[in-house]
Amino acid sequence: MNRDLTVDDLVFAGIALASGLLAAFALRILLRWLGGHADRTRWTGDDVIVHALRAVVPWAAVVGGAAGAAAVLPLTRTVQHTTNQVLTVLLIFVATVSVARVVTGLVRTVTQSRSGVAGSATIFVNITRILVLAIGFLVVLQTLGISIAPLLTALGVGGLAVALALQDTLANLFAGIHILASKTVQPGDYIKLSSGEEGYVEDINWRQTTIRNLSNNLIVLPNGQLAQANMTNFMRPEEQLTILVQVGVAYDSDLEHVERVTNEVIAETMTEVEGAVPDHEPIIRFHTFGDSRIGFTVILGVGEFSDQYRIKHEFIKRLHKRYRAEGIRIPAPARTVALQQGSVGIPQQRTGEIEPGGLSPARFD
């Protein structure tokens, strides 16, 4: 436009800008109200969506108001085009960030629901975020009139060089994806490696797996090493497991009485101790005539791996107390060691004579 700026232009531009701001304020209040309703639902995905919309929708209203104000003002074609491009890029940027939040939030929700733990597999979250931001960046370049075909070609050639330089990093990346996709290990699982490391899997990211052992220390392993290791997962196919407690009683014990008393202690422990399995059927198996006792195994059910220590602790205390009350003896191991008689020669030291200049060397018989 070549006409001069008038008061009416400023009034209409101000109205358009004020309308955008007012709409943004109203939409923010509406989305806050929707967020309150979303908090009361069981599905966490609606919380993620509403949170992302609260960031993008008010900004879209402001950008719309600014675009309306720019359309009313008598700007030259070049200034008008530049203003529209700036506003469009701003809107694409906000939309891209919001979409990245929504998608990564949904991915995090899915990983949490499948693993059943508070930790999350950040490898999927990070890959998703990078992909969404990269797509948004390409859209911005296309909007600005920059051809992305040469850029994609250069990225393809450069990606090959980067892949050759980062073989170990990419190996760990794909190993982590394979571990999670195969569901052999998930965050929250208790695992034990053949090399001795064991603990709860805290997280699996693009390069490494973090394990927290029972002493609350962190063990960091490259994903490639974890994928190649011999491993026991104590959480799969289910969290509940059985533990063995070895017990022994004297030979003069009534085994029927021993079995009945032990079953009662097992049932009491399974019912009253946290982490035990109340519906676990008591199992006792006599198996050994030992040197001083008849040995048997008690099989207990526990809810998950770390519960076994507390359950063993309580079971042994209660069983020992009950055996004492019932007169059931747990004999201590007794071993007889025979010593062969013989003479033991002890060397005697003979006093040496003092020679000039020092002591004479000691001589022995």
Maximum average pLDDT range among 50-54, 170-174, 284-288:
284-288
- Answer with the residue of higher pLDDT: 5 or 304: 304
C-alpha–C-alpha distance, residues 221 and 197, integer Å: 10
Average of per-residue pLDDT across 153-171? 65
Task: State pLDDT tens for residues 126-149.
Answer: 777 888 888 888 888 777 777 777
C-alpha–C-alpha distance, residues 108 and 357, integer Å: 87
- Bridge partners of residue 243, in order along the sequence: 300
Q: What is the pLDDT of residue 261?
A: 93
Q: What is the pLDDT of residue 360?
A: 41
Maximum average pLDDT range among 67-76, 138-147, 211-220, 258-267:
258-267
Q: What is the pLDDT of residue 265?
A: 92
Q: Is there a contact between 16 and 86 (Cβ–Cβ < 8 Å)?
A: no
CA within 13 Å, CB half, 213? 11
Specify the residue for token string 């001795």: 196
Q: Is the model's pLDDT at 207 over the cut of 90? A: no
Q: What is the pLDDT of residue 349?
A: 46
C-alpha–C-alpha distance, residues 265 and 245, integer Å: 13
DSSP 170-189: HHHHHHHHHHHHHTSS-TT-
* Residue 129, C-beta contacts closer than 8 angstroms, at least 6 positions apart: 100, 103, 104
Q: Is the model's pLDDT at 153 over the cut of 80? A: no
- Answer with the residue of higher pLDDT: 55 or 186: 186
Share of the chain above pLDDT 90, in %: 13
Specify the pTM. Answer: 0.50
- What average pLDDT does the structure give for the chain? 76
Q: What is the pLDDT of residue 275?
A: 84
- Bridge partners of residue 247, in order along the sequence: 296
Q: Is the model's pLDDT at 104 over the cut of 80? A: no
Q: What is the pLDDT of residue 240?
A: 83
C-alpha–C-alpha distance, residues 259 and 298, integer Å: 10
Q: Is there a contact between 124 and 180 (Cβ–Cβ < 8 Å)?
A: yes
C-alpha–C-alpha distance, residues 290 and 181, integer Å: 49
Residue 91's H or E segment, with its range, is: helix 77-115
Q: Is the model's pLDDT at 15 over the cut of 60? A: yes
Letter string b/e over residues 330-361, b meaning 16 or more CB atoms within 10 A of that residue's CB: ebeeeeeeeeeeeeeeeeeeeeeeeeeeeeee
- Answer with the residue of higher pLDDT: 25 or 120: 25
Average of per-residue pLDDT across 21-27? 81
Model confidence at 245, pLDDT cuts 50, 70, 90, reads very high
Q: What is the pLDDT of residue 289?
A: 92
